[in-house]
Each structure stands twice: as C-alpha cells, then as structure tokens.
Amino acid sequence: MQDRTTDDKTPLRARHTALASLTEGWKVSVKLYLSFGALLLVVVAGGLVSYLFTEEIDRKFRQVIEIEEPLEQAVLEMEINAGETALAVLDYVRDLGQENLDRIIDSRRDFERYAEIFMRLVETKEERALGAKVAVLYRE
C-alpha cells in the first residue's frame, strides 16, 4: 500500500506518527485542553481581526457621512446659488424689479453660507485655495 503525500512530499502516515510520538504519554485530558486552547486562540485571533477591520470600515464610513457627503452637498448648493444669482441679475437688468433684487440678495446669502460650510469641511491646502478663489470670483 502506498502512502498518500502532501505538497511537501512527506507521507501522511509519517506525519501522523511524528505527532503521535510527540504527544505519546500525554493524558487525553491534556490533549483535549491543548486542542481547546488552540481552538480558543484561533477564535480570539479571528475576532480581533474582525474587530479591527470593522473599526476601519466604520472610520471610512464616518469620513464619507460626516465630511465627503456634506462637502459635495455644499459644492452643489454653491453651484445652484451661483446660477440663481445669474438669472436674478439678468431679470433685474431687464425690469429693475425689487423681487429680483431680493432674489439676488437671498442667493448671495445662501452662497456665502454654503461657502462657509465648504471651507469648514475642506482638509487640504488645495481645497482651501480653491474655495477662496471661488468665493472671490463669485463676489466679482
């Protein structure tokens, strides 16, 4: 009868014999305790790895929810208010109505509020410079 082998070409019977000779003379209770301890170690290590990965996912999720999503919303609102201001200016030039002047003032106030939110949420120098440049261009 031929022994089955593993990838390292060590016969399984020889591996089993080596393990048996290592634990020869040990009581069954000691072997069970060691097996339970090894199993417990694997479960704890798996739990620790799962916890660490969960914390990393939670951190990234919070980044998206607390910074990136509000930042994107602020940018979109600034864009909308810039468009509304442009339309209100064109309407005001055409008929010089007070309601169009009020729309310009409201749109400008909203733009500045969202620009402030944008500047509070940005994290890099480039983003701050871009926010400052947009604010200056809007005022002009």
For 74-129, how does the pLDDT look when each residue is reduced to its tens digit (9 = 90+)? 888 888 888 888 888 888 888 888 888 898 889 889 988 988 888 888 888 888 88
The verdict on residue 3 lying in a domain is no
pLDDT at position 13 is 59
More confident: 3 or 132: 132
The verdict on residue 6 lying in a domain is no
Count up the domains in the chain and report the number.
1
**Which residues, 6+ apart, have CB-to-CB distance to 4 below 8 Å?**
11, 12
* Residue numbers of the domain that contains 71: 12-139
DSSP state of 7: T
Beta bridge partner(s), residue 5:
11
CA-based Rg of the chain, rounded to a whole angstrom? Answer: 34
The pLDDT of residue 1 is above 50: no
The verdict on residue 4 lying in a domain is no
The verdict on residue 16 lying in a domain is yes
Rounded mean pLDDT of the chain? 83
More confident: 15 or 53: 53
3-class secondary-structure state, position 127 = helix
> pLDDT tier at 135 (50, 70, 90 boundaries)?
confident
Whole-model pTM: value is 0.57
Helix axes 69-95, 125-139, angle to 10 degrees: 10
